[in-house]
Amino acid sequence: MNNSDRILIVGAGFTGAVLARELAEKAGLACHVIDSRDHVAGNCHTARNQNGILEHVYGPHIFNTNFTDVVAYLQRWSEWIPHVNRVKAVNRHGVFSLPINLHTINQFFGKTFSPTEAAAFVASLGDSSIKEPANFEEQALKLIGRELYEAFFHGYTLKQWGVEPRELPASILARLPIRFDYNDNYYKTAHQALPRDGYTPIVERLLDHPLITVLLNCPFEPAMRSDFAHTFYSGPIDAFFDHRFERLGYRTIYFEKTEGKGDLLGNAVLNYTDTTRPYTREHEHKHFSPWETHAHSVVFREFSKATAPDDIPFYPLRLARDRELYALYEESACSTEGVTFVGRLGTYRYLDMDQVIGEALDTAAAWLQARHAGSPPPKFSVPRKK
């Protein structure tokens, strides 16, 4: 097999695994998948701990989507069990349902509003002097007023992003997560589920093909590209270019674990929405597999911080300076032959799991179509909007 039939895929998460499977299965291409970590599945990696509890090693991942093609695709690789994510908010005022809903509003203000009354009441709390919100904070104050903003948004946002909300764009809160009924389902999507055996077995099955080879503990080196016809790169785009325009801003997360017996939190996820605690949330992992029974339990306490050079980047920060830098990296990527930048880190966007999988499917199809037509391949993932 010559180099024209060999593809290098950097990253063994969902992006890389779906791309490899599609290119191998549909075009007979030999795909060489590498990853710097010692496991596949990226940040969706799941593993059993010493007590048999299935841990979401890098934090909770609850699949939810409106993309029916993604649902159908994933059902090839695993049994999925419907799951509703019901998150609680903890702050100095008490414990409340999230997203903010009619129960939250009535409990927080000690009222018994109907949906219509609650909507009118919250509207009256908004700061009408703010005509065109210039940032996240002004957007929140305009829509819901200071009490709800400070109880549910300010502290959590400050801890999660490491900057005051007034430094973040208003667009982050353009569609306010607030409901005027008693629906406490964290998501609004049509399909919500968890894989019975976790996410890692799915990725392992995707990669289980005679034309796919996987090499772990293998960081990407630019010289590797010379042995392949094309490279799909899902690592940080600034790292690909050796940070020539400075490092892009990311946030990373880390965990403190607590183990015990019985039920430690009483819920899968608790968000700590003010600054009385330094962590953003806690998650009790046996609640992500409620069809299993475990005498023991484990809780992850989650902290957020700026990403140091040796940290795993989780969330693109995308402040004004980051957007300027990314434009320079994007320009460099467009002039780099033989590489397609894919996934959350390769395109410096926040993407949910369903978007990652959908874009990998679309990008594989677009790349194969371009190859067949003799056209230039896509430089970036084919975007898929929620």
Of the listed 92, 227, 256, 350, which one is catalytic? 350
Is the backbone peptide bond immediately before 99 cis, with ω within 30 degrees of 0?
yes
Helix (H) or strand (E) holding 340: strand 339-341
Q: Which of 191, 350, 177 is nearest to 271 (CA)?
A: 177
Q: Decide if 92 is catalytic.
A: no
Cα–Cα dist 46/57, whole Å = 6
Question: What single DSSP character describes residue 66?
Answer: S
Enumerate the β-bridge partners of residue 340.
232
Enumerate the β-bridge partners of residue 200.
none
Cα–Cα dist 231/7, whole Å = 6
Q: Decide if 242 is catalytic.
A: no
Q: Decide if 251 is catalytic.
A: yes
Sheet holding 191-195, edge to edge: 63-65, 191-195, 80-82
End-to-end CA separation in angstroms for the chain: 39
Of the listed 21, 225, 251, 301, which one is catalytic? 251
Note whether 106 and 113 are within 8 A (CB). yes
Cα–Cα dist 323/331, whole Å = 12
Of the listed 117, 352, 362, 371, which one is catalytic? 352
Q: Decide if 279 is catalytic.
A: no
Of the listed 282, 302, 354, 359, which one is catalytic? 302
* Contact residues for 383 (Cβ-Cβ < 8 A; gap 6+): 359
Q: Decide if 350 is catalytic.
A: yes
Of the listed 21, 281, 318, 384, which one is catalytic? 281
Q: Decide if 322 is catalytic.
A: no
Of the listed 22, 149, 179, 199, which one is catalytic? 179
Cα–Cα dist 242/28, whole Å = 33
Question: What single DSSP character describes residue 77?
Answer: T
Of the listed 38, 132, 175, 310, which one is catalytic? 175
Q: Decide if 263 is catalytic.
A: no
Residue 374 zone, left/alpha/beta (φ > 0; ψ -120 to 50; rest): left
Cα–Cα dist 125/208, whole Å = 56
Enumerate the β-bridge partners of residue 257.
300
Q: Which of 207, 187, 203 is nearest to 195 (CA)?
A: 203
* Residues catalogued as catalytic: 175, 179, 251, 281, 302, 350, 352
